[in-house]
Amino acid sequence: MSEVYMRKGITLIEVLVMLAVVVILTLLSIPLFSSLIQHYRITSAAEQLYSTLQYARTEAIKRNTSVYVSVTTGDTWCYGVNTGSTCTCSTAGSCNLGSVSAASAGVLTLSATGLSSNSFYFDNTHGGASNSVTLTYTLFGQSSLITTSISRLGSISTCSTGITGYTAC
């Protein structure tokens, strides 16, 4: 009769193989997480812009006064909402209905077309916009972008090129 050998625990070789597999899987997943973080940044910025624009339009009708949206474009972008006149979104407290600025400069770039003196307004009667405006977020150094458009009638829409979950531009 042969003696049965029972082993307890794991060997050093098995531990090293397991560590190698974990390291390889981790290295393979890093680009995926980086892409997810960038996707989250641009979509959250676009959703916040959309909500702010809806708020500005609603306040114009509710308060029966023009509500201005002032925009500063570029890497250190910001936008602010103010009743009655334009404001400087980069100056704290300048915009009486609030302002939003780039959380981390150099990650997202904001560009705009259709602005008059870096702003536009929603009128107090029907919430129409003073100009047709297009605001576009672009991931720094990439082609992924999300565009928010405001029509003269005050309709706000968002589309995207390269970002899932939005209609194509």
pLDDT tens for each residue of the chain, 169 residues long: 455 566 677 888 989 999 999 999 888 877 777 777 878 888 999 999 999 999 999 999 999 999 999 999 988 899 999 998 999 998 888 999 999 988 765 688 999 999 999 999 999 989 999 999 999 998 877 777 899 999 999 999 999 987 888 899 8
CB 140 within 8 A of CB 109: yes
Distance CA 118, CA 75 (A): 15
Strand pairing report for 167-168 and 156-161:
parallel
The neighbouring-strand residues paired with 79 are 71, 100
